Amino acid sequence: MHMDYSRNIQSYYNYLSSYTYISFDIFDTLIFRTVSDYRDIHRMVQRLYFELYGVMLDNYPVKRMNAEFTARSLRGVMDIDIDMIYDHLSEYTIQEKQRLMALEEKCELDNCIPNPLMADVCRLCYENGKKIVITTDMYLPRTVLHRILQKIKVKYDFLFISGEEGYTKRNGELFSVVLNKLSISPLDIIHIGDDMNNDIIMPKKKGISSLSRLINSTKPLSYLQTDRKNDLAVTHLNNFLQINYTNNVPLDSEHRIGYYVLGPLTVDFCQWVHIMKQEHNLKKLLFVAREGYFIKQVYEEMYPDEVDEIGYIRLNKNLLRLPLLSIGAPCEYFMRAKLWQKKYTWNLILDMLYITDYEGAKSYVTKHIGFTDFDMQIDCKELEEGKYDNILLLLFEYIKDKIVYQSQLFDEYISSLGLCSSKIGLVNNSINGSGQSMLTDFLSAKGKSCDIIGLQFFKSSNCERLLGDRCRAWLTENKRITRFSKMRFYSNCLLMEHLMFEPQGTSLYLCKKNSAVEVCCETPRTEKSDYARIAKIQQYALCFVKDYLNHICLPLEMAGFDIFYRMLCYPLYDDALLLCHLNDDDFGGDKKIANMKRPFHYKYLFSKDLPSDISWKEGYFTLKGLSQWSISLYLSWLKCLYTKNSILHIFKELKNSLLNGISE
């Protein structure tokens, strides 16, 4: 349809050109409602009433429909308006009814999205001197319908509403009103609509030509499929997105991933962050680089009144590593700030300490203890067991001036952000809580008190152990989603982070410029080639945020997560192509999200651990041509494995508890 868009509009208009008056239906013709059922409007009104006035009007949707049924029964074949409906809600006060009616009218207005094909046909008719007639069966007042038509930029000459006239299209009598009031012949006018009876058959019975609306037809976006069909938040969001999708296809992967996936996910998360801010009485939110870059933009868009209570902090293991070495137990803190590497080289360890003079540092160690085997590879476990603590301590001694300086700068940096002056929410995608834990340890060692609550997507058992009630995790605490889906999200969190990154390398160390402490970042390498695509994805995601805020911005209640999760599991080919080829600059070597050069083997479908250069398995499988059924098989196998391990873990814990009880 879109490829021949202008031709279709023009040919459709040519069919109308012989008529002086062109009549249009409104709902599902000129506009679409972003609800599955018009009765969802009443559920929205109930929810908005509670948010605004703090009163939950139990059973309001049912009572509202009963009132409409009563009003229609009393009128017989005559139609009703909204005042007649609310007259039969006698159990509510006048003020309550006024508020409810205002909210219903707002919801009707805000839930409208234009049908661009018919809106353009209408505009073309108007520009060519046709008389535009709007003919609708509706109880809403003229003022609301006028604002709806203004919203979609449709100009008209006449507006006939069944609620005003008392007659409906349903029995054809509203068309008689149109003919009589305009004093025209049925041959002068044609009516366009979507309903076979009301818009096609009934006008013909009055001698009026009729025509079905134009509408884009496209397959539903697979990411919007859901089992939560009775959930208002889900159906509202998915209808909103599907109508937008239908109106905009074809579109590129950046548009689809940004507007339809990343935008809803981030709005969902930010709504939760806002609730946490209120629940914990947080005075300031600090969004942690680098994923915090985009989350902060979304939060500021959603809650503009809080911009003075929002900041941005660069905080990671690289930045913390040297300052932590100044507060005692340096080998322990070095390991807490280690990289996720199974094997280390001494050159990598020197890089972690920002030692550029390899030979000087190695000579210093050799001089003191005679160690010379710097070409060896070291198991991470050996480092954790303290086997090389003597060498590490010598390296720390070698850079002691740098450690002291970085500690001083870090102290200044966090003081400038007000970390110790009020209750802080630290918003990030931490999993293990190590950054927050090490930060509080540093502040404590400096004799500074702080009150920090981590606000993150997911937390591990290690994070629970380190932080306890000083950390809240959106997914971990949520009971709407399964443990398995939480673990799949956790396994692919690197992919999500890259979509949110700022166009800047990772933070490395602190420096002083013009008397101010600044964070020096790594010079981007392969990731730099992704910046334009990531910026485009983020731009589309922000477009969604703005559109949704101007719509009925209901709490998404994990509907945004659901969409992101479906993309993770069953990505469209073009989206997998873009995302699998994103670059990841890393201490251990630059890589892609998935190495597509690696040949596929069917054993991968039943392998717990795929090669490490395939971090997003489902994307890799999609690009290798596997069917959705095959990916479902892989996920089912993983789910069985996860369930088995969970049961074994429970039995192990139970066994340990019993043994501890016996020993006591």
β-pair partners for 161: 136
Cα-Cα-Cα-Cα torsion 401, 396, 350, 409, nearest 10 degrees, comes to -40
Residue 619 — left, alpha, or beta (φ > 0 → left; ψ -120 to 50 → alpha)?
Answer: alpha
CA distance 501 to 263: 14
Angle between helices 263-279 and 531-549 (to 10 degrees): 60
Judge contact between 284 and 418, C-beta under 8 A: yes
Predicted pLDDT of residue 1: 36
Contact predicate 255/544, CB 8 Å:
no
Pairing mode, if any, of strands 284-288 and 423-428?
Answer: parallel
Instruction: Label the pairing between strands 471-473 and 507-513.
Output: unpaired
Give the three-state DSSP class for 553: coil
What's the rounded Cα separation, in Å, for the pair 160 and 142? 9
What is the spatial distance between Cα 628 and Cα 633, in angstroms, rounded to a whole number? 9
Q: Is omega for the bond preceding 483 within 30 degrees of 0, making it cis?
A: no
The 8 Å CB, 24+ separation contacts for 436-439 are: 436/467, 436/470, 436/471, 437/336, 437/466, 437/467, 438/317, 438/320, 438/324, 438/333, 438/336, 438/337, 439/315, 439/320, 439/414
Instruction: Specify the DSSP element, H or E, that contains 12.
Output: helix 5-16
In whole angstroms, what is the distance from residue 442 CA to residue 439 CA? 5
Query: Quick one: tokens of 112?
Result: 């409208």
Q: How far apart are CA 507 and CA 524, in angstroms?
A: 11
Q: Strand, coil or helix: what is 262?
A: helix
Under 8 Å CB-to-CB from 57, ≥6 apart: which residues? 46, 49, 50, 92, 96, 100
Give CA–CA dist 485/566, Å, rounded. Answer: 10
Q: Pairing between strand 112-114 and 31-33?
A: antiparallel
* CA angle 512–518–522, rounded 5-degree value: 110
CA pair distance 289, 507, nearest whole angstrom:
8
| Phi, psi (rounded to 5 degrees) for 134 | -105, 125
Residue ranges of the chain with per-residue pLDDT less than 50: 1-3
Q: What pLDDT does 421 receive?
A: 85
Burial class from Cβ neighbours inside 10 Å (0-12, 13-18, 19+) for residue 120 reads buried
Is residue 240 within 8 Å of 551, Cβ to Cβ? yes
628-643: pLDDT as tens digits: 999 999 999 888 888 8
DSSP state of 581: T
Q: Which helix (H) or strand (E) holds 5?
A: helix 5-16
Residue 524 amino acid letter: P
* Cα–Cα distance, 162 to 141 (Å, whole number): 10
> For the chain, how far is it from start to end, CA to CA, in angstroms?
76
Nearest-angstrom CA–CA distance, 360 and 32: 71
DSSP codes, 130-180? PEEEEEE---S-HHHHHHHHHHTT---SEEEEHHHHS--STTSHHHHHHHH
- Host H or E run for residue 517: strand 516-521
CA dihedral sign of residues 148, 152, 153, 154: negative
- For residues 450 and 418, what is the distance between their CA atoms, to the nearest angstrom? 10
Instruction: Report the C-alpha gap between 137 and 169 in whole angstroms.
Output: 6
pLDDT at residue 387 in the model: 94
Contact indicator for 501, 290 with CB cutoff of 8 Å? yes
Report whether 204 contacts 223 (CB < 8 A). no
3-state secondary structure of 422: coil
- List the beta bridge partners of residue 190: 22, 209
DSSP annotation of 377 reads E
pLDDT attached to residue 662? 59
What the block records as the tokens of 180 is 């009589």
Q: Write down the pTM of the prediction.
A: 0.91
Name 582's Cβ contacts closer than 8 Å, sequence gap at least 6: 495, 498, 530, 533, 534, 592, 593
Residues 6+ apart with CB under 8 A from 500: 262, 266, 290, 291, 292, 293, 294, 295, 429, 538
For the CA atoms of 604, 605, 610, 615, what is the dihedral angle to 10 degrees?
130
- DSSP states of 75-99 as a string? HTTS---HHHHHHT-TTS-HHHHHH
Residue 525 dihedral angles phi and psi, to the nearest 5°: -115, -110
Give the integer Cα–Cα distance in Å for 326 and 352.
Answer: 16
Phi, psi of 600, deg, nearest 5 = -85, 140
Specify the DSSP class assigned to residue 530. Answer: G
Torsion of CA 616, 620, 623, 626, to 10 degrees: -120
* Phi-psi map region of 426: left, alpha, beta (phi>0 left; psi -120 to 50 alpha): beta
